[in-house]
């Protein structure tokens, strides 16, 4: 089925460890996004990629890096995990393009990340 696929679904890390969250979409969308979801705060944008080859910071980029590997894939990396990064992470894609037209239209099922 077409959609946004995130891996892994669950992960537990120790403070200071690093890891990469993977995201792939098969809808030929131009734009991709990474959000974190925390209780009482809704969704906050970490990074986005308006189109292949570009990435930009969102509201809460500190402690994260991203790579737009190709049109399908957009990964999120935590270089040195901290307890404050415990959250549920969502990848999303949209038709978008340079203007991010239409915003995030399809979301993955999320990665639940715990940092001890």
Partner 1 sequence: GNSVTQMEGPVTLSEEAFLTINCTYTATGYPSLFWYVQYPGEGLQLLLKATKADDKGSNKGFEATYRKETTSFHLEKGSVQVSDSAVYFCALFRNSGGYQKVTFGIGTKLQVIP
Of 34, 46, 90, 113, the residue at the interface with partner 1 (CB under 8 A) is: 90
Choose one: 11-19, 38-46, 62-70, 77-85; the region binding partner 1 (CB under 8 A).
38-46
Q: Which of 7, 54, 99, 114 binds partner 1 (CB under 8 A)?
A: 99
Exactly one of 45, 52, 65, 67 binds partner 1 (CB under 8 A); that residue is: 45
By the rule CB under 8 A, 53 interacts with partner 1:
no
> What is the SS3 string spanning 38-107?
ECCCEEEEEEEECCCCCCEECCCCCCEEEEECCCCEEEEEECCCCHHHCEEEEEEEECCCCCCCCCCCEE
Subset of 2-21 contacting partner 1 (CB under 8 A)? 4
**Residues facing residue 76 across a β-bridge:** 21, 66
Cis peptide bond upstream of 102, omega within 30: no
C-alpha neighbours within 13 Å on the C-beta side of residue 57: 6
Instruction: By CB under 8 A, tell whether 95 contacts partner 1.
Output: no
Q: Smallest distance, Å, CB 69 to partner 1?
A: 21
User: Residue numbers of the site for partner 1 (CB under 8 A)?
Assistant: 4, 40-45, 50, 90, 92, 98-110
């Amino acid at each position: 089925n077409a959609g946004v696929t995130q891996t892994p679904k669950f992960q537990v890390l120790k403070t200071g460890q690093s890891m990469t969250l993977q995201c792939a979409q098969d809808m030929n969308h131009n734009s991709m996004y990474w959000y974190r979801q925390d209780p009482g705060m809704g969704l906050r944008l970490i990074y986005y990629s308006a189109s292949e080859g570009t990435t930009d910071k969102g509201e809460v980029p500190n402690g994260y890096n991203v790579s737009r590997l190709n049109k399908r894939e957009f990964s999120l990396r935590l270089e040195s995990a901290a307890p404050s990064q415990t959250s549920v992470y969502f990848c999303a894609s949209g038709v978008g393009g340079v203007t991010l037209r239409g915003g995030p239209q399809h979301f993955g099922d999320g990665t639940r990340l715990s940092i001890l």
